[in-house]
Amino acid sequence: MKIKLMTSTSRTTAVRRLLTTAFVGVLSVGAAKADTLRVIEGSALKIVDPIVTTSGDTQIHGYLIYDKLFEFDSSGTPHPQMADKVDVDSDKKTYTITLRKGLKFSDGAPITTDDVIQSLKRWESRDVVGGLLGSRTKEMVKVDDLTFRIELNEPFDVPSALASTEGNVPFIMPKRVASLPPTEQLTDTTGSGPYKFDYSTWKPGQTPVYTKNSFYTPRNDPPSFYWGKKEATFDKIEVSYIPDPNTAMAAMLTGKQDIWLTPAIDNALALRKDPKLVVSKGYFVQSLFVVNHEVPPFNNIKATEALTYLIDQREVMQISVGDPQFWHPCYAYLTCEGKYGDESAYSGHRGAADFDKAKELFREAGYDGKPIVIFDLTDWAEAHARSLYLAQQLRKIGVQVDLQAMDWATVTSRRTSKAPASEGGWNLFPTYMEVGPASSPITHLMLAANCDKAWFGWPCDEKLEKLRAAFASAVDENEKKKITFELQARASAYFPFVMTGEYGVPIVYGADIEGFNPEAPYAYFWNIRRKAK
């Protein structure tokens, strides 16, 4: 009789088999990938109307199912996308735009200028850039089914506005959909883009599934950033939301998901060791503190300037982000990533903290010893670290700090108060601006210094406003650069907000994915392919 002894290895194998059989058993079925792209989003899609909200998940949804008249290439130059050509008169006040022939919506209906004009009107009623275009538009008239004309009161860079990738994006929808009031959410998701989405079979919370739009006709130009050929390369795209980062990590490690759009930096770094995954820096954001200019002590510029002497951007970024590959200090109000950003325009304090100078400035500002209220965002680790840092720096110079812990949704309510900090108001809170909108004086929320009409914090500076208006009217690129330099120089004397550096929001994707651009402010999924094994 032969007795087969079990070695350690065979025992381990046996135990593994037993465990797998016992627990997994017959339920184990290999996950079929087919040609579906699976993406993990940072939040669940709730609103399918990109004009009703600026939420990132909704805009990503918008880029999948809609197209635009113009798109930016990788150099930031706008090109016709759905448009075939644009004729501009010499005084830059009349733009005649002709659509490409044969464009159709996802229901097969032809796209005409009626649809385009109505879509742009709805967008103008909601978006910052759109509102600016609307206020300068004398009339927008149909010439024929494929041609329309925009007549302006004063010069304006219309192609750049219509290629906007920020805020509410000017997507083209059918006229019947775009006729809805801008506050009423659409339920008809007939689109003009490379993919289509069936709203009638979808419930919020379910994973949105996008399928190829067979009526979409892409351009033939080679793709560059958002512009050019938009080819629907996957039959299906699923954009799911996995709230727990550890589960999302597991899904990426096991190849059950292809792209993870918003991992925390710690999770992204942990995945960097896996050769099957690529960890990209993603798009950059300008990290900053919003300052309440309405209430003491920051209604005095000297107090705001004092903050710049307390903040060492390298320290802040090291504490809040960590790995230096993902951040850099930056003293350009229009960002170090954008084409108008210029650090040489900045005349304020840079580098290590200078506590004596900060203390002196607070004294000159007449600081009365009352606590400074800082919102501490407990549901946003990076911002939480920045609040703790600034509170500590202020305490070091003897300033009283009231650090108020809350989630972002509470901030959206509390930040509207103009009451003194001691009466439920606030002084400072951390946030960021994506470098896309932060690179333009028109779309940078916190650079608008039009007092009561400005963003929360309500900076009020006539010189900044004049420069922003001049930029909006400028069409020549050299003129724009000159204006933005002056604007950034002025900002470094007025301090509409306080910069704390720039960092990349990482994106993780499978090494078998090619053609994906992780640096787009809103991710897009056309022209992506799975490498052949």
Instruction: Say whether residue 455 binds another protein (CB under 8 A).
Output: yes
Point out which span in 61-69, 109-117, 236-244, 370-378 binds another protein (CB under 8 A).
Answer: 236-244
CA 421, CA 291: separation in Å to the nearest integer? 12
CB 502 within 8 A of CB 336: yes
How many residues sit in the footprint of another protein (CB under 8 A)?
55
Instruction: Say whether residue 46 binds another protein (CB under 8 A).
Output: yes
CA 490, CA 333: separation in Å to the nearest integer? 10
- Of 358 and 508, the one with the shorter C-beta distance to another protein is 508
Q: Among 7, 8, 9, 28, indicate the residue that binds another protein (CB under 8 A).
A: 28
Closest CA to 355 of 301, 323, 318, 392: 392
Query: What is the CB neighbour count within 10 angstroms for residue 18?
Result: 10
Give the torsion sign (CA, 486, 492, 497, 503): positive
CB 515 within 8 A of CB 524: no
Task: Output the smallest distance, CB 205 to another protein, in A.
Answer: 4
Q: Among 4, 8, 139, 203, indicate the residue that binds another protein (CB under 8 A).
A: 203
Task: Output the smallest distance, CB 101 to another protein, in A.
Answer: 34
Instruction: Say whether residue 198 binds another protein (CB under 8 A).
Output: no
Q: Among 36, 55, 211, 300, indicate the residue that binds another protein (CB under 8 A).
A: 55
Task: Output the smallest distance, CB 490 to another protein, in A.
Answer: 23
Point out which span in 23-31, 170-178, 218-226, 304-312 binds another protein (CB under 8 A).
Answer: 23-31
CA 516, CA 287: separation in Å to the nearest integer? 25
Burial of 512 from C-beta contacts in 10 A (0-12 / 13-18 / 19+):
middle
Instruction: Say whether residue 275 binds another protein (CB under 8 A).
Output: no
Task: Output the smallest distance, CB 425 to another protein, in A.
Answer: 14
Point out which span in 79-87, 229-237, 338-346, 404-412 binds another protein (CB under 8 A).
Answer: 404-412
- Of 53 and 217, the one with the shorter C-beta distance to another protein is 53
Residue 503's beta-bridge partner residues? 285, 327
Q: Among 4, 413, 532, 533, indicate the residue that binds another protein (CB under 8 A).
A: 413
Q: Among 239, 277, 399, 445, indicate the residue that binds another protein (CB under 8 A).
A: 445
Instruction: Say whether residue 8 binds another protein (CB under 8 A).
Output: no
Write phi, then psi, for 375 (nearest 5 degrees).
-75, 130
Closest CA to 287 of 386, 379, 376: 386
CB 474 within 8 A of CB 483: yes
CA 520, CA 533: separation in Å to the nearest integer? 27
Read off the amino acid at residue 246.
N
Instruction: Say whether residue 167 binds another protein (CB under 8 A).
Output: yes
Where helices occur in 44-202 by DSSP H, the ranges are 56-65, 113-124, 128-136, 158-162, 175-178
- Of 300 and 410, the one with the shorter C-beta distance to another protein is 410
Instruction: Say whether residue 211 binds another protein (CB under 8 A).
Output: no
Q: Which residues bind another protein (CB under 8 A)?
A: 16, 19-20, 23-24, 26-29, 31, 44, 46-47, 52-55, 126-128, 167-168, 183, 185, 187, 203-207, 240-244, 246-248, 250-251, 253-254, 256, 379, 406-407, 409-410, 412-414, 416, 445, 453, 455
